[in-house]
Homo-oligomer: A and B are copies of this chain.
Amino acid sequence: MKEILVFGHKCPDTDSICSSIVMANLQTKLRGMEVTPCRLGEINEETKYALKYFNVEEPRLLEKVEEGQIVVLVDHSEFSQSVEGIENAKIDTVVDHHRINDFRTSEPLFYYAQPVGCTSTLLFELYKLNNVEIEPTIAGLMLSSIISDTLLLKSPTTTLKDKNALEELAKIANVDINQYGLEMLKAGTNLDKYIEEELIHLDAKTVEKEDIKYVIAQVNTVSIPDVMKRKEKLEREINKEILAKGLSLFVFVITDIVNSNSEAIILGDRTDAISKEYEIKDNIAVMPGVVSRKKQILPLVEKNI
């Protein structure tokens, strides 16, 4: 049998990386054959912190897949967020917590999705369902995913299942959720090492809807003003990206993980999709209480674009 590859979305966040490693572990045990975790991009500082803490290697970089390659997708299914060649791969399994859009298969598959805060919460269920023991390292990766995706259970995407999974996983991994979680999240807010061109791609989701294409990117910080100091250069890079990719809209969300607020830099022809609900001044919209791209920003843009 051919090698099976597991991976999350492009511009990987902690859930995409950790859930790939976790799912490869589970699938290896269930199938009795080696299943390989991969990544579709550079690993961010937050994820590096988690991998180092639990002493886990980075998954290998995957640039494209051949026709017929058997793949397992975690934390995404949209083709535009997946690997080159995904249209002609054999998609065997998907575990995700997003909507379904821009996705199709030619054969039946295992697809498990729920509207929870994090993919790892569903993987946690699958370990239990299949009576597979969760090792402390695997528990550590899952809890890192949950902390990252729910911003320590503060995001409106958080469900009771995420909370319960996190508590149980913390016991297995033997970590203090708040202490470890805040350290991990803070590690991800060190944006100084990135040039502006990198910052706008760090965690960027491209959405295509009929003939409209737009990007919603997000960075976490402990100081929005610190990031806004780089506004001029960020705008220059965003405008370059809009031209290069033919985008109608680019929303660059800067989220304060301590106070749970965001401000966004908004550029493109279709800024009206945001300005219907938030005043835009000097290309900036202030969004009090907004931390979730999926639950708060994406539905707003979807509705108005």
Contacts and interface: CB of A to CB of B under 8 A. Distances in A.
A83 to B, nearest CB: 18
B108 A111 contact: no
A107 interface: yes
Contacts of A111: 100, 111-114
Interface in A87-141: 97-115, 129
A60 interface: no
A98 B106 contact: no
Contacts of A112: 111-113
A294 interface: yes
A302 interface: yes
A32 interface: no
B110 A99 contact: no
A1 to B, nearest CB: 16
Contacts of A102: 104
A97 B108 contact: yes
Contacts of A99: 104-109
Tally of this chain's copies = 2
Nearest to A106: B302
B101 A104 contact: yes
Nearest to A104: B101
A301 to B, nearest CB: 10
B115 A113 contact: no
A113 B109 contact: yes
Contacts of A100: 100, 103-105, 109, 111
Contacts of A104: 99-103
Contacts of A98: 108
A41 B191 CA distance: 57
Nearest to A129: B129
B109 A115 contact: yes
A28 to B, nearest CB: 20
A299 B112 CA distance: 23
A268 B109 CA distance: 30
A30 B129 CA distance: 19
Contacts of A110: 113-115
6 interchain residue pairs of minimum CB distance: A108-B115, A111-B113, A101-B104, A99-B105, A110-B114, A106-B302
